[in-house]
Amino acid sequence: MGIIKLLDEQLANQIAAGEVVERPSSVVKELVENAVDAGSTRVDVTIEEGGLQLIRVADNGSGIEGDDVETAFLRHATSKIATSKDLFAIRTLGFRGEALPSIAAVSKLSCTTSARTDGLGRRIVIEGGTVREIADAAAERGTDIAVRELFYNTPARLKYMKSIQTELGHVSDYLYRLAIAHPHIAFTLKHNGHTLLQTLGSGDGRQALAAIYGTALAKQLVEVSGESIDYKLSGWIAKPEVTRANRGGITVIVNGRYIRNYALNQALLQGYHTLLPINRFPVAALRIEMDPVLVDVNVHPSKLEVRFSKEAELMELIEHSVRNALGNQVLIPQIAKPA
């Protein structure tokens, strides 16, 4: 008799959770991305004690069909891709089918959802990966997921959590960037009863940035746009008078996904050329649209890192468009030729 055995589903989920659910902000990220993928126009995030007590994400999106509710919490269950061909043309934020089972494995989760408009939905309660309750329930169209006592059954991970302020910082930082990426969605973030973010969902990028950075900074923003063979760039960048001590004010969004990419940040800085004081960094929100075939989002479970097949072209577009936008604003008044 061999000694190698397949892990049971619950244990496999707990192991996957180690990668997918690093801290409260990872839960917020996964739940909010699901809300975005569901076509929501409102997403309300409520957290308590930095998310360690409670993370609740309520949306008005498509909801989950009653018959699908249990399946949604199974590992590798997704409605977003079906074939390996789909994997190379990802248009949604999620596709791995890992978030819900992973979160449910390391918390006490309840989900009320409805895909209908007659007020009828379904509620499921899962504790440490075990389904405790599943029943019909009254619900508006949309999904409302509450995650309580994150890591209650993984003491080693719980111990690793930082202060409430630090965890809250990670949550708000992520949500700010998603709100920038999706100005058509009205986001709210509440922590211990206080509202920290409220965007209107008007579709106006500058308005979303004003909700996050304040109206004074929003007034210092210059619009950027440009196009190359494969990429379309749009967004807002702050005039070089407004700078930060680090790169935290830079948000790059690729096909609706907030990503981190050193090379693209460098291209942005190159675009400012000598206008930035040494060791100072701009505030900027760059949106890049492209054929999803040209970007590999399946690099890491968190999907924060992506790979571009034509990175040099994209860097050139960013540098050139930023320089153009700043040139129009900053340089032309100085070098304007007489008519």
Q: Which residues bind ligand ADP (CB under 6 A)?
A: 30, 34-35, 38, 59, 61-64, 72, 77-80, 94-100, 143
* Alpha carbons 143 and 31: distance in angstroms, whole number: 10
Q: Least distance from C-beta 47 to ligand ADP, angstroms?
A: 17
Residue 62 or 251 having the CB closest to ligand ADP: 62
User: CB of 19 within 8 A of CB of 157?
Assistant: no
Of these, 24, 94, 129, 240, which contacts Mg ion (CB under 5 A)? 94
Q: Least distance from C-beta 307 to ligand ADP, angstroms?
A: 19
Q: Least distance from C-beta 31 to Mg ion, angstroms?
A: 8
Q: How many CA atoms lie within 13 A of 245 on its CB side?
A: 0
Residue found by looking up tokens 């890992």 in the block: 98
Reduced to 3 states (helix: H, G, I; strand: E, B; else coil), residue 111 is: strand
Q: Which residue is nearest to ligand ADP (CB)?
A: 94
Q: Is 62 in the site for Mg ion (CB under 5 A)?
A: no
Q: Say which entry of ligand ADP, Mg ion, none residue 38 contacts (CB below 5 to 8 A, set by partner kind).
A: ligand ADP
User: CB of 128 within 8 A of CB of 83?
Assistant: no
Q: Is 32 exposed, middle or buried (0-12, 13-18, 19+ CB in 10 A)?
A: buried
Q: Say which entry of ligand ADP, Mg ion, none residue 59 contacts (CB below 5 to 8 A, set by partner kind).
A: ligand ADP
Residue 98 or 127 having the CB closest to ligand ADP: 98
Q: Least distance from C-beta 99 to Mg ion, angstroms?
A: 4
> Among candidates 305, 239, 327, which has minimal Cα distance to 277?
239
Q: Is 103 exposed, middle or buried (0-12, 13-18, 19+ CB in 10 A)?
A: buried
Q: Least distance from C-beta 96 to ligand ADP, angstroms?
A: 5
Residues at the site binding Mg ion, with contacts judged by CB under 5 A: 34, 94, 99
